[in-house]
Amino acid sequence: MLSSCFAPPQPERSVRIDAYGVIIIMNRQRVVVTGMGWVTPLGHDLDTVWSNLTNGVSGVAPIERFDARSFPTTFAAQVRNYDYNKYLNDTAVHETAGQHTQFALGAARQAWDQACLGSYDKLDHARIGMYLGAGEGALDFDNYAKVDLAAWSAEANKIEDEQWNKFALEYLDSWREIEQEPSMPAAHIAREFDVRGPVCNCLTACAASTQAIGEAYDILQRGDADVMISGGTHTMLHVLGVTGFNRLTALSNRNDDIQRASRPFDRTRDGFVMGEGSGIVILESLEHAQQRGAQPLAEIAGYGSSADAFRITDMHPEGRGPARAIQKALKQAGIDPHATDAHGRPFVHYISAHGTGTSENDSIETRAIKAAFGDNAPKIPVSSIKSMMGHLIAAAGAVEFITCTMAIRHGMIPPTINLNEPDPDLDLDYVPNKARKAQVETCLSNSFGFGGQNDTLIIRRYAE
């Protein structure tokens, strides 16, 4: 269909006010997942990564991007042997893409192909939108440091501005600078797939891509688009990224045992392990998916978002924000967290934890899950794939969302590896070390960001 400057007919949207004066939009669309793709430290395609996740494989290795041997942390989970060009129609136009954008382009192509959008000849590109939670690009540290050092005035004990300008114009690469904008992955994907509907990028630290998927879901529910490309991408594996997290003492520095360093929920956990990569999904109104005969892989059933409004450095000790995000998502999905089925099973069958492996996160997340599920909490398997692929920061929520969808489709729950010494205060079922076969109909995925943004999604097996 050719694009038109006239808006296509919108699904009718009626609004009502409930008894509390809250505006409720009626006639909301159901939203399904029809495509998924990821580029991660455990591989670059759905099956390889899934096989590694369910086999408990660690993607952690010594940092190769720069010489980190003297850093407090010398290791990370890195994307390796990846070439984004094979995923592109037009390689020349994406030549300047930064690493985060390169990851996202490959993940987006996999998702687009799985959804078979390329072969649908009635696709209206003005009704395809995008909502990413992409991080900023990697700083060009070597050249930046060169400029700073060259422009330093020892006498004045500060940078000499005129010199800085001169060296910066000389040493910095204009494209490497432009490509660092957090909206660049979205711009590149829009160019590659001719996306012309509503496009947005959010960056709420480690919660970003879960929040992006949640908001994309809302946009589809309202009928403001038919298809949304969503997810996230990020790498902070550059000198200042690792420096920043090391200064915050947020990273594990178990340099002598790197593949066993990421140990969420273990008593001896000492911080998170950095990862990098991208997860991209195609979300679609059920109506649109059915119209074109697409196969729904799962359905999004609920989304909850909240702010801690507590401190920029710490989570609220009772986990009030995370608990509220979980409760809001459950309410939207119509799930009673305290109910069980005829077999005594709660109606959530797997929780993909934020589970970073920091002392604070894992305790507070456990508390929040208990606050939301009460007596049912110990009956729900909870695991953290960050134990295997590290923490993908802004992209973490997207790969965990895909993990939930895979768990439903394969009837398998990935483990939390390196969980050998249970923490007496953490008493949920964290699926230690070995994947578990299970009938999974409904999953819950948590992401919490530095500074207090909390987001929860509920993913359910699609049924008519």
Smallest distance from the beta carbon of 214 to another protein, in angstroms? 9
From the list 238, 349, 354, 404, the catalytic residue is 354
Q: Are residues 102 and 80 in contact, defined by beta-carbon separation less than 8 angstroms?
A: no
Residues 396-455 that bind another protein (CB under 8 A): 449-453
Smallest distance from the beta carbon of 78 to another protein, in angstroms? 17
Tokens of 7: 């808006």
The answer to whether 256 contacts another protein (rule: CB under 8 A) is: no
Cα–Cα distances in angstroms (integers) from residue 9 to residues 4, 31, 221, in the given order: 12, 19, 16
Smallest distance from the beta carbon of 415 to another protein, in angstroms? 31
The answer to whether 123 contacts another protein (rule: CB under 8 A) is: no
**Contacts by residues 63-68 (CB-CB < 8 Å, ≥ 24 positions apart):** 63/237, 63/242, 65/237, 65/238, 66/141, 66/238, 66/239, 68/242
The answer to whether 266 contacts another protein (rule: CB under 8 A) is: no
Distance CA 199, CA 211 (A): 14
Smallest distance from the beta carbon of 449 to another protein, in angstroms? 6
Q: Which DSSP letter does residue 121 get?
A: T
Smallest distance from the beta carbon of 344 to another protein, in angstroms? 32
Smallest distance from the beta carbon of 230 to another protein, in angstroms? 14
For another protein, which stretch binds (CB under 8 A), given 7-15, 107-115, 280-288, 404-412? 7-15
Using the minimum distance from each CB to another protein, give the nearer residue, 21 or 344.
21
The answer to whether 26 contacts another protein (rule: CB under 8 A) is: no
The answer to whether 94 contacts another protein (rule: CB under 8 A) is: yes
Q: Do the strands 298-307 and 453-460 form a parallel or antiparallel pair, or are they unpaired?
A: antiparallel
Tokens of 312: 């920029």
Distance CA 61, CA 71 (A): 14
Using the minimum distance from each CB to another protein, give the nearer residue, 67 or 421.
67
Residues 135-164 that bind another protein (CB under 8 A): 136, 142, 144-146, 148-152, 157-159, 161-162, 164
Using the minimum distance from each CB to another protein, give the nearer residue, 138 or 297.
138
Does residue 100 carry a catalytic annotation? no
Distance CA 249, CA 358 (A): 10
For another protein, which stretch binds (CB under 8 A), given 70-78, 370-378, 402-410, 427-435? 70-78
Distance CA 56, CA 410 (A): 16
- Altogether, the residues listed in the chain come to a count of 464
| The only residue of 53, 60, 186, 323 in contact with another protein, by rule CB under 8 A | 186
Distance CA 75, CA 461 (A): 37
Distance CA 365, CA 448 (A): 9
Does residue 391 carry a catalytic annotation? yes
Give the residue among 279, 316, 255 at the shortest CA–CA distance from 73.
Answer: 255
Smallest distance from the beta carbon of 245 to another protein, in angstroms? 7
| The only residue of 62, 64, 118, 169 in contact with another protein, by rule CB under 8 A | 169
Smallest distance from the beta carbon of 176 to another protein, in angstroms? 9
Does residue 354 carry a catalytic annotation? yes
From the list 94, 238, 391, 404, the catalytic residue is 391
The answer to whether 203 contacts another protein (rule: CB under 8 A) is: yes
From the list 206, 288, 316, 349, the catalytic residue is 206
Distance CA 71, CA 250 (A): 13
Q: Are residues 208 and 394 in contact, defined by beta-carbon separation less than 8 angstroms?
A: yes
Q: Scan for tokens 């029809």, then name that residue.
A: 34
The answer to whether 6 contacts another protein (rule: CB under 8 A) is: yes
| The only residue of 195, 258, 385, 404 in contact with another protein, by rule CB under 8 A | 195
Distance CA 372, CA 322 (A): 9
| The only residue of 30, 48, 61, 96 in contact with another protein, by rule CB under 8 A | 96
| The only residue of 62, 118, 244, 317 in contact with another protein, by rule CB under 8 A | 244
Crossing angle of helices 141-150 and 161-171, rounded to 10°:
150
Site string for another protein, 301-340 (x = CB under 8 A): ----xxxxxxxxx------xx--x---x------------
- Look at the alpha carbons of 114, 110, 274, 97 in this order and tell me if their dihedral is positive or negative: negative
The answer to whether 1 contacts another protein (rule: CB under 8 A) is: no
Total residues contacting another protein by CB under 8 A comes to: 111
Distance CA 389, CA 274 (A): 8
Smallest distance from the beta carbon of 28 to another protein, in angstroms? 9
The answer to whether 247 contacts another protein (rule: CB under 8 A) is: yes
Q: Are residues 136 and 203 in contact, defined by beta-carbon separation less than 8 angstroms?
A: yes
Element (H or E) spanning 162, and its range? helix 161-171
Distance CA 387, CA 367 (A): 20
Using the minimum distance from each CB to another protein, give the nearer residue, 53 or 126.
126
Residues assigned a catalytic role: 206, 354, 391
